[in-house]
Structure 1
Amino acid sequence: MRKLPVIFLLMILFACSEKESTVEKHGYVSKTPDLSAGVMMPEILWSFGRVGGAQVSPGGENILYSVTYYDIEENKPYNDIYSVPVEGGEPENLTRSTSNESGAMWRPDGKKIGFLSAVSGSTQLWEMETDGSRPRQVTEIEGGISGFKYSPDGTKIFYIKSMKLDESVNDMYPDLPKANARIESDLMYRHWDKWHDYTYNHIFVADYSDGKVGEGKDIMEGERYDSPMKPFGGTGQIAWSPDGKTLAYTCKKKTGKAYSVSTNSDIYFYDMETGETTNFTEGMMGYDKNPVFSPDGKYLTWESMERDGYESDKNRLFVANLETGEKTNYSEGFDQNAHNLSWSSDGQTIFFISNIHATDEIFKLQLTDRKIERLTDGIHNYQSVEQAGDQLVAQRVSMSHPADLYSVNPESGEAQNLTSVNDELLGAITMGNVEERWMETTDGKQMHSWVIYPPDFDPNKKYPVLLYCQGGPQGTVSQFWSYRWNFQMMAANGYIVVAPNRRGLPGFGQEWNEQISKDYGGQNIKDYLTAIDEVAKEPFVDKNRLGAVGASYGGFSVYYLAGHHDGRFSAFISHDGMFNFEQMYSTTEEMWFVNWDIGGPFWEKENEAAQRSYSFSPHKYVQNWDTPILVIHGEKDFRVPPGQGLAAFNSAVLRDVPAKLLYFPEENHWVLQPQNGILWQREFFGWLDKWLK
């Protein structure tokens, strides 16, 4: 009986929202921003609906997906679940509530939709009819869950629950309940943006029958490991076999220092009948993750990297014959990465996403002849792909258009819109032109760059130019749509943007991608200067008004350029950039990154590669700084700890260089809260306008 008020509350929320046409059409909608400027503004950017989580129904007729809107005044997101026919038609908001529903999933029989909601006080599994009616809470698991999947035969589910296995100070000293401290004896005590909370993600399996869930069994009982892996892993790292007898899951079964220096995750098989777990990828030393069974259960495909400790190694497409145990690398001879793998309904083809020359495209692998074909070609990024009947359903984005869902012909690659979530806002603003350019580098190679022009660009005028420095460092400058580093926002503020795919970025072969490791102050810096120098030759560019901006590795690039730019630039902005490599090595959390890319610790004086890397540390060249710089950093950034930004800002001030610090106590390596995001944009352009206009 205690569940009834909660059920009634959710039903009332759904029912009430049906009465308002604007809510019924869009779910939660924040206030319409001021569109009078006719170009991108921070408030417009944060008003776009964000599409995600597409999933095709068992019969292939409909697609579930989510749309998230941010309320700027409340400084929080609202998420609704939608459906749209695969053949096209009017999308339907299934939840239409002021609570947040997520993780939507078709029940295998197609008769109900499962989803996550915290309306009861903790996140639990709920189900509703396929039209969104009759929501009902299914689980009542202490502490809540963070994800789930039905087994293909509909007789079981797995769910993810956080299990406390380590002692806190208060557990160790119960007579000191107000003591606030940590006691550590090994690494990985914090990761990305959170201190370890003494808990681990564990997978539970339970019997399921028409909305009733039995007692869950922890298949990782007592293990101090996470599946899905933290901080970004989701249920895509776990897969049911078609017969429901096997659960494949991704896990890195290491702790402390061993975890911090390794990228060796594996795929494990849990046998539902015997309760035994086996390491299916034992001996494969890099990342192995995201398993997907073929429809007939005879094969398994997954993403695999070869080398332990190298997080940007080639992401290979592996397939295993589960009857013979043979594992085959289908990426041999394919000098690109493979992501987001999915099977065709007949089990003969694997569709996947791969970056090629700065766009993310759909490819397909024919198993019978090992042939890989490219399906799509355009100025866009595809982010996911799944077969639906005789079509593919894919999510697509570009620098000029936030994500929408598309129907893609699996033979021709032709695409048609299934959703148009942001057409109203997009129709009210003018975007700048996006142009591709190829440039010759200082070592005689060809480098791809994007050039983005202001709306209503006039070649007879003179414009300031921004050099965009990408992070990663191995993160491609593709057709991404960013809610912070948004090129159309920069263009709307009157800047030409040049965004080069300098050395160290994927999509141009593994040799190009790997060159940057242990060469941070080398060829890629020359590539940056090539890009800005080439664009600066144009008659519409004001050479006296050039700026350089970037985050993470891009933030390092800005700090390094500040000491080596020979007067090219008049303003710099560095967000969460590396400033002091020795300090960075000693304080970051994932040691595999600095070990591989820098080459090792600073105390290894005989390690020539490492010592060369430390010679590139920007703090060694502060004596050359003479250009105004804005430093931005987040307190919860444990990848590039906040001391890096504070040291850079302090050094600039002590050098009498015009400087400003924008510091976010509640943000991590990114900026995720709406009002902080808008503040970021205002300070970003305020600084650039002051020195470049």
Structure 2
Amino acid sequence: MKYKSIMAIALSAGMLACGSGKEKTEDTNEAPLIGKSAIKITDGVMTPEALYSFGRVSDVQVSPDNAKVLYGVTYVSVEQNKTNRELFTMNVDGTDNKQITKTPKSENNAVWVKNGSKVAFLSSESGSSQIWEMNVDGTDRIQISDVNGGINGFTYSPDGKKVLYIKNVKYGERAVDKYPDLPKASGRIIDDLMYKHWDAWVEEVPHPFIADFDGEKLVNDLDLLEGEPCESPMLPSGGIEQLAWSPDSKTVAYTCRKKKGLEYALSTNSDIYFYNLDTKETRNITEGMMGYDINPTFSSDGKYVAWQSMERDGYESDKNRLFVMDLSSGEKIYVTENFDYNTDFAVWSKDNQSMYIVSCVEAKTQIFQAYIHTKEIKALTKGVHDYESFAIAGDKLIALRHSMSQPNEIYSVSTSTGEAAQITHENKEILDQITMGKVEERWIATTDGKKMLTWVVYPPNFDANKKYPTLLYCQGGPQSTVSQFWSYRWNLQMMAANGYIIVAPNRRGLPSFGKEWNEQISGDYGGQNMKDYLSAIDELAKEPFVDKDHLGCTGASYGGFSAYWLAGNHNERFKAFLAHAGIFNLEAQYLETEEMWFANWDLGGSFWDRSNSIAQRSYANSPHRFVEKWDTPIMITHGEFDFRILASQGMMAFNAAKLRGIPTRMLIFPDESHWIAQPQNGILFQREFFRWFDQWLKK
């Protein structure tokens, strides 16, 4: 149920289009090149249009000589309803920053190759996503691959003689395969589970391929999963990080859950496999480890392989552990055994005796150093922000960092002191025009005597002598931390800029506060975590600047479930609700969703198992069972391509509100999934979001 927010948004009359007229091609029918925005903000207020003007910095790569940084920036055009990604280089200290591409087709998966003399990347310039190479200054672009159907990701072997790439292959039998005389028949013949996943019908799956590379083109392509109806990397979000080359270029490690259909739907048990290029043999190195095992990475000396591992099958939110295997002895080392937090990203140190890891602790994501043999975990950075990923450059880490008040920028972090210096300023021109609200960390007492970190975001130019309408933000996941995240849909600063105080609790069931806090929610939907929400809003409602008569509540996914549940259990606290992609009827959800392991673990099992007390408690707390107590306006939004939580859940909630005579509105996106990805749909969502709450919460 975990989700990532991908937002987008539309031009108002006063906003300038991304790019400039100078970038038009000679064909006047072609749209302007999508590039850096020149938006002008006159009142300092963040609007949806301003939010979608930010350049989105990603994918930092350091050159082999540790002198240069390669990265990408994604720009949005609401007018064209799409995005475009360009590439940049700079010195490791941030100087000599140059844009090296300027094309209408995005450049993705960019990496240094050929000892740093070239940059390789993916582009659909030729009609499908293929590997290209160019000089470091962006000149002399040459297409390297010509793979039928295109490539999703790639990595060159260390010796440069082979390329490992990801390509989708056909999965299952289509109607036209069985009945060739019906080529236009659109029906899907389904005999097993996992026929849909997140936002797509499962008719193809990604496979890893190896090809020989002579420096100019790929030949002798080999599918490592030939004939296996499995996926590697794993859907929906796995990429090239789930595969790795050994330093001697003789072994490929890949992540795979070698299951299909019902078995796949019930299990999270993936493994790390080694494929030996010489012997053509495949070996499972995590046999007997029953949860997710993902993201293998070899030490530079070839003596070790590290990966992230969860312990229990069926539990997708288990502690994400760091494991290392000594390849000579086969010994497995649980490096973070004494560290009660997740490992979200890991890179080997220069001496291969430790790893730098990203981990979220008390809702702030920092970089730590994990020592392999002593299992010591040492905090390297501190502060109110989230580090996302990084690459090593000598004695520095070149890292992506964001906060609730700033989108991703690149920082140089000292490996000895943790001191950080910002070296990109992609969004300075926009940020300089916006007044951000204060972000405050509060620790609030819960009903069971614990302390809960709650972020409070104040409106810009906050006046303590005034009273403000206030929104309770309910997090999705359900086990997804309310950290210092920056979102292009659930942006707390933009909510605050519209004149609201935002209350964002790290309620029970969220990581970064230890295993006990994280796991409490499983089997207790509608239980302690809802009490936590009410504790947070009740505490803030005591403040003289909070208008306790105009409180609202919103959230997506499990946050949408929370809004539905609270709508029937809030005792007149709130004056308006908004739920996006939320679960309304848990019994229906159990049979509608695709990842059955999730429903079995979090709900405790099926609703027909009357002897299962945990499951029966879960279904007794389904929001639809409290509709008779709904008494407050509620808005519902949902995407019809959401195969995680079907749009029927939102439609049921809307119909129930209408039949109960509750003021309600529904915003349905026929072409969106669990997220809202298209720019103009993103703008529409934001405009309707504030139109709804302004109607009910502002005097």
The answer on 1:376 being equivalent to 2:381 is yes
In 1, the alpha carbon distance for the partners of 2:469 and 2:150 equals 52
What secondary structure sits across from 1:207 in the alignment? strand
Paired residues of 1:28 and 1:80 also in contact (CA < 8 A): no
Contact 2:164 2:209 in 1 (8 A): yes
Distance 1:208 1:365 in 2: 36
Q: Which residue of 1 aligns with 2:185?
A: 179
Q: Which residue of 2 aligns with 1:170?
A: 176
Question: Shift of residue 31 of structure 1?
Answer: 5.2
CA distance in 2, matches of 1:17, 1:299: 49
Q: Which residue of 2 aligns with 1:256?
A: 261
| Partner AA of 1:486 in structure 2 | N
What residue in structure 1 maps to residue 210 of structure 2? 205
Secondary structure, in 3 states, of the residue corresponding to 1:216? Answer: strand
Structure 1 equivalent of residue 692 of structure 2: 687
Partner of 1:360: 365
Q: Does 1:124 align with 2:133?
A: no
Q: Matches of 1:372 and 1:202 in 2, distance apart?
A: 35
Residue 354 (structure 2) pairs with residue 349 (structure 1): yes
Q: Which residue of 1 is the match for residue 498 of structure 2?
A: 493
Shift of 1:18: 12
Instruction: Determine the structure 2 residue equivalent to 1:12.
Output: none
The 5 A counterparts of 1:167-316 are 167-197=173-203, 199-316=204-321
- Deviations 1:49-101 (CA, angstroms, capped at 9, x unpaired): 11111111111111111100011100000011111211221321111112211
Q: Distance in 1 between matches of 2:224 and 2:447?
A: 55
- Is the Cα contact below 8 Å between 2:336 and 2:370 reproduced in 1? no
2:397 counterpart of 1:392: yes
Deviations 1:602-653 (A, max 9, x none): 0101111100000000000100000000001110111111110000000000
Q: Give the alignment of 1:11-160 within 5 angstroms.
A: 28-29=34-35, 32-160=38-166
Distance, in Å, in 1 between the alignment partners of 2:74 and 2:372 is 37
Q: How does 1:404-415 map to 2 (within 5 A)?
A: 404-415=409-420
Instruction: Give yes or no for the alignment of 1:618 onto 2:623.
Output: yes
The partner residue of 2:579 within 574, 580, 597 is 574
Q: 1:72 to 1:19 in 2, by over 3 A?
A: closer
* Distance apart, 1:165 and its partner CA: 4.3
Q: What SS does the aligned partner of 1:413 have?
A: coil
Task: Please identify, of 272-281 and 207-216, the stretch whose mean Cα deviation from structure 2 is larger.
Answer: 207-216
Percentage of identical aligned residues: 57
3-state SS of paired residue (1:115): strand
Amino acid paired to 1:137: Q
Aligned to 1:8: none
1:18 & 1:522 partners in 2: Cα distance? 57
**2:327 aligned to which of 295, 313, 322:** 322
| 2:544 counterpart of 1:533 | no
RMSD: 1.5
Q: Which has the higher contact order (CA 8 A, sep 6+)?
A: 2
CA distance in 2, matches of 1:194, 1:561: 31
Shift of 1:214: 2.1
Q: Which amino acid aligns with 1:615?
A: A
Secondary structure of the corresponding residue to residue 468 of structure 1: strand
Aligned partner of 1:650 among 648, 652, 655: 655
In 2, Cα distance between the equivalents of 1:272 and 1:251? 18
Aligned mates of 1:111, 1:73 — CA distance in 2: 37
How far did residue 474 of structure 1 move? 0.3
The alpha-carbon distance between structure 1 residues 148 and 499, as it changes in their structure 2 partners (threshold 3 A), is same
The count of aligned residue pairs is 672
2:559 alignment partner in structure 1:
554
Q: Are positions 1:670 and 2:675 aligned together?
A: yes
- Aligned equivalents of 1:651 and 1:637: distance in 2? 21
Residue 36 of structure 1 and its aligned partner are, at CA, apart by 1.9
Deviates more, 1:328-337 or 1:429-438: 328-337
Contact 2:324–2:372 (CA<8 Å) still a contact in 1? no
Indicate if the aligned counterparts of 2:36 and 2:55 stay in contact, CA closer than 8 A.
no
Which whole-Å deviations, capped at 9, do the CAs of 1:22-44 have from their partners, x for residues lacking one? xxxx9842653351231100001
Instruction: Report SS of the residue matched to 1:109.
Output: helix
Residue 209 of structure 1, CA deviation = 2.6
Does 1:639 pair with 2:644?
yes
Alpha-carbon distance between aligned partners in 1 of 2:113 and 2:350, rounded to the nearest angstrom:
18
Residues in 1 aligned to 2:171 and 2:442: alpha-carbon distance in whole angstroms = 54
Structure 1 CA distance for aligned equivalents of residues 650 and 289 of structure 2: 38
TM superposition shift of 1:200: 2.1
Match of residue 461 from structure 2: 456
Letter in 2 for 1:456: N
- 2:508 aligns with 503
2:115 alignment partner, SS class = coil
Q: Secondary structure at the match of 1:596?
A: helix
Q: Does the Cα contact within 8 Å between 1:127 and 1:211 map onto a contact in 2? A: no
2:559 touches 2:582 (CA, 8 Å); kept in 1? yes
Shift of 1:108: 4.5
Distance 2:504 2:258 in 1: 39
CA distance in 2, matches of 1:223, 1:108: 33
Please, which of 527, 546, 554 is the counterpart of residue 522 of structure 1?
527
Q: Distance in 2 between matches of 1:124 and 1:387?
A: 28
**Which residue number in structure 1 is paired with residue 634 of structure 2?**
629
Taking the aligned partners of 1:531 and 1:658, their CA distance within structure 2 comes to: 26
For 2:341, the equivalent position in structure 1 comes to 336
Q: Deviations over 1:249-268 (max 9, x none)?
A: 00000000100010001000
- Report if aligned partners of 1:454, 1:495 keep a CA contact under 8 Å in 2: yes
337-346 or 290-299, larger mean C-alpha shift: 337-346
Distance in structure 2 (CA, Å) of the matches to 1:472 and 1:550: 11
CA distance in 1, matches of 2:205, 2:395: 41
Q: Partner letter of residue 109 of structure 1?
A: N
**1:391-423 deviation per Cα after TM superposition (whole angstroms, max 9, x unaligned):** 111100100000011100112111111211111
The residue aligned with 1:545 is: 550
Distance 2:629 2:96 in 1: 59
**Corresponding residue for 1:9?**
none
Q: Note if contact 2:457-2:496 (Cα within 8 Å) is conserved in structure 1.
A: yes
Aligned to 1:465, the other structure's residue is in SS state: strand
Which segment drifts farther, 560-569 or 141-150?
141-150
Match of 1:587 in 2: 592
Name the amino acid aligned to 1:195: W
Q: Helix, strand or coil: the match of 2:687?
A: helix
5+ long unaligned stretches in structure 1: 1-15, 21-25
Rounded Cα–Cα distance in structure 2 between residues aligned with 1:157 and 1:35? 47
SS at match of 2:641: coil
CA distance in 2, matches of 1:611, 1:34: 55
For the Cα contact (< 8 Å) 2:455–2:504, is it kept in 1?
yes
Deviation of residue 210 (structure 1)? 2.2
Query: Do the aligned partners of 1:84 and 1:418 also contact (CA within 8 Å) in 2?
Result: no
Q: Which moved more, 1:84-93 or 1:64-73?
A: 84-93
Q: CA–CA distance in 2 between the matches of 1:194 and 1:37?
A: 42
1:102-122 CA distances to partner (integer Å, 9 max, x unpaired)?
A: 110111411111111111111
Stretch moving more, 645-654 or 412-421: 412-421
User: Which runs of 5 or more structure 2 residues have no equivalent in the other structure?
Assistant: 1-21, 27-31
